[in-house]
Structure 1
Amino acid sequence: MKRVFLMLLLAFSASYLSAQTATDSIPKLDPKTKNALNAIDQFNYQMALRYNDRAMAKTKLYDLIARNPENMRYMEALSSLYFESGQVASAALVAMDILQVNDKNVGALEIAAYSLEQLGALDRALPQYESLYLLTGDNYSLYKSAYLQYALKRYEEAINSVNMLVKNAKADEKIGFPISETETQEVDMKAAALNLKGLIYLDQNSKAEAKVAFTEALQIDPNFAGAKENLAKSN
């Protein structure tokens, strides 16, 4: 999947420019005709969604985008539709096109970040999560930033992000951790941050520091299964 996405990404800049050029070649419609066609396509799009015909819904969105290239809401709807359908490569590419126009589009940043992460393009997902945190102050985005920094072995950045999260995490904030193929455990955000801090230390073979971090995580959330397993590894 990652290889497929990277191949798509190589063509991204050229395809974006060619799409812009192609838009310029579309015949101009008079306002009355354009509005009438938009109304028909919007109706058909809603009907396609109602009847779960996602292929038709996408077709109608493409028609609307071609006719209204300046209206980002159709691109946003297309990116969301791809994302909800599990077509994360397409979702990411559309979201990145939106960000070319508006790099502060929160919805596009969310889809780009998650989709790129799912594709294994962690180095490209990380800036999206970082931008999300700067724009929204959302601690989940900060956690994801810290985790990807850790996964990319950018340890100093990861520790800084974790320390910010430990400081800023709210008492009622939770994050899900998979404990089996069908079950997820809701864990205190601060405990999750301390567990990640322990993993960062463990990755650097600093077992004493890792043990302290895992122990602190369990003091906050004694039922945190992942922290229990990681504490055992640090002994």
Structure 2
Amino acid sequence: MNKLIMTVAMVFMSTVALFAQNEQPAQQDSEANRKRSESDRKVYQLALRYNDLPAARVKLLELIERNPTNIQYAETLASLYFESGQYTSAAISALDVLEVSDKSLTGLEIAAYSLEQLGAMDRALPNFERHYLLTGNLFSLYKTAYMQYSLNRQEEALNSINMLVKSNKSSEEKVGFPKEDNTQQEVTLKAAALNLKGMVHIYQKNKEEAKEAIMQALELQPDFELAQENLKEVQKM
């Protein structure tokens, strides 16, 4: 989730900067439209300055209605909804962005994470998959594998996990997991993927394969609490 928040923040800040430069709408129907949009952008900036997010969202909605082909406004609106924890609104607005541009990385991320928060795993999965295909982002690949596991698409999950494990970068990039003491523990994506592989084999009741995968995860990260718990689960099989 931290990765998405960072992405949303970057979109948010870059949008403010572009608005400050008085970027012109992608589609201008008239001089009146241009002036109205410029005024709305100024009000939007003031609303952000005063932390009045409802007012900022209203101005973004007006800008979207007036400039339907400029996805920057819609991406920013989806980001504001997500930051406010309004996951239904964030998901719908992000999906609208993808209707205009199916390669919007912001739209894909916000749709994926918002739908996940809403429990719509089957709808979140394609957005994680597409984000990985467009960017090669390993965290999106890990989320893809986890979604596939959660949806009982175990063979697909194993394929995604194996792709992740084979990537050299998976030994460098990290992901956070909650610990029993309510703190966060960072582990490499490779260790996380091997642990997930063990979970898939536990589900499939393949004891030896599960033990091997989890032991490999613990060799990489001996203090990985979730893997330690999963190893105990294997020993009970």
Could you say which TM-score interval applies, normalised by the shorter chain? 0.7 to 0.9
Residue identity over aligned pairs, in percent, reads: 56
> Alpha-carbon deviations, 1:8-42, whole Å to 9, x = none?
xxxxxxxxxxxxxxxxxxxxx86221111111110
Q: Determine helix, strand or coil for the equivalent of 2:176.
A: strand
1:176 equivalent in alignment to 2:176:
yes
> Quick check: 106-115 or 180-189, which moved more?
180-189
Q: Deviations over 1:35-70 (max 9, x none)?
A: 111111100101101111000001111111111112
Q: Distance in 1 between matches of 2:127 and 2:29?
A: 39
Task: Report matched runs for 1:15-94 at 5 Å.
Answer: 31-94=30-93
- Cα separation, 2, equivalents of 1:213 and 1:86: 36
Q: Which residue of 1 aligns with 2:125?
A: 126
**Which deviates more, 56-65 or 163-172?**
163-172
- Deviations, residues 138-186 of structure 1 (Å, cap 9, x unaligned): 1000000000000000011000000000001423210111114741110
- Report the residue type matching 1:164 in the other structure: M
Instruction: Name 2:94's counterpart in structure 1.
Output: 95
Match of 2:135 in 1: 136
**Structure 1: gaps of 5 or more residues:** 1-28
Alpha carbons 1:210, 1:234 under 8 Å: kept = yes
Q: Could you tell me whether the CA contact under 8 Å between 2:69 and 2:100 is conserved in 1?
A: no
Q: Against the structure 1 CA distance between its residues 75 and 158, is the aligned structure 2 distance closer, same or farther, given a 3 Å change threshold?
A: same
Q: Secondary structure at the match of 1:70?
A: coil
Q: Is the 8 A contact 1:165 1:193 kept in 2?
A: yes
TM-score under structure 2 length normalisation: 0.85
TM-score (norm 1): 0.85
CA RMSD of aligned residues (A): 1.3
> Which of 122-131 and 203-212 deviates more?
203-212
**Cross-structure match for 2:20:** none
Q: Output the CA distance in 2 between the equivalents of 1:165 and 1:230.
A: 20
What residue number does 1:189 align with?
189
Moved over 2 A (4+): none
1:96 partner amino acid: L
The unaligned stretches of length 5 or more in structure 2 are 1-27
Q: Deviations 1:171-224 (Å, cap 9, x if unpaired)?
A: 321011111474111001100000000000001111111111110000011111
Task: Tell me how many residue pairs correspond in the alignment.
Answer: 207
Aligned to 2:216: 216
Measure how far apart 1:234 and its partner are.
0.3
Change (3 A) 1:32 1:181: farther
Q: Secondary structure at the match of 1:104?
A: coil
